[in-house]
Structure 1
């Protein structure tokens, strides 16, 4: 298998620049729906553009986390499972170590903290780890 791949690369290289350009141009890239519904490791610009967007059709959960926070590592996958493309919610994660001013603006004093935004405004918030049932209740209140 590896030998066959190497032969293919050599064949493309020997074919000249016009073939390489054609071969590379045939690959198309696109954003999946999940990538648009999950804004992972968002920066301040992405936060402002999406969470504070008053015309957004779906509420967005902003998960303030840190890489060293063990409860954050468990909570984020639970939140991802509740914010799939067919759900009525989007998910954004913000690293508080990278964006402490943003965390301070929303009074994040403990981790994890999840803030729900709807129509560009804070609608609800919880601090600390929550289980599956608590997350469902939280989403129903939005």
Structure 2
């Protein structure tokens, strides 16, 4: 009975599993277009190592279990995107350990700035918004 009520009252944007539990569908927004979240090695190579791109890419190496990463990523999202001079890419170190090792990620969070396909700057650990803006000013 409950499942029938839930199914009849479901919004148009949600889909349901056989259990009757809603599964959220996500839509891309204008801001999310220049955010490359949970990038794999192919996406990393195509965007961060692109020598023809003059727009710097901040690569946020993170892990799902890292609490400072959970606080830093939204701050980075706020200063990057289509309206800014920077793009953001996030890379999960648990899923891509070879990529993290290649860029000497030994602590989390680690943010590496790429411009024209080369590393320009890097910081390790949580930074507040003022420190992030100083970091961006050095690129």
What's the TM-score bracket when you normalise by the shorter of the two chains? Answer: 0.7 to 0.9
Instruction: Show structure 1 runs of 5+ residues with no match.
Output: 7-29
Matched, 1:110 2:80: no
Q: How many residues align?
A: 116
TM-score, scaled relative to structure 1: 0.77
Q: Does 1:138 align with 2:135?
A: yes
In 2, the alpha carbon distance for the partners of 1:106 and 1:31 equals 29
- Larger helix fraction of residues: 1
- Structure-2-length-normalised TM-score: 0.79
Q: CA deviation at 1:33?
A: 3.5
Q: Runs in 1 of length 4+ with deviation above 3 angstroms?
A: 30-33
1:50 corresponds to 2:47: yes
CA distance in structure 2 between the partners assigned to 1:54 and 1:104 by the alignment: 22
Instruction: Choose from 99, 105, 125 the match for 2:122.
Output: 125
2:34 maps to 1:37 = yes
**Residue aligned with 2:99, SS:** helix
Structure 2 alignment gaps of length 5 or more: 9-26
Superimposed CA distance per residue, residues 12-66 of structure 1 (whole angstroms, 9 cap, x where no aligned partner): xxxxxxxxxxxxxxxxxx9644233100000000000000001113100000000
Give secondary structure in 2 for the equivalent of 1:88: coil
Larger radius of gyration: 1
**Cα distance between partner residues in 2 of 1:46 and 1:120:** 13
Quote the residue 2:88 is aligned against: 91
The answer to whether 1:78 aligns with 2:78 is no
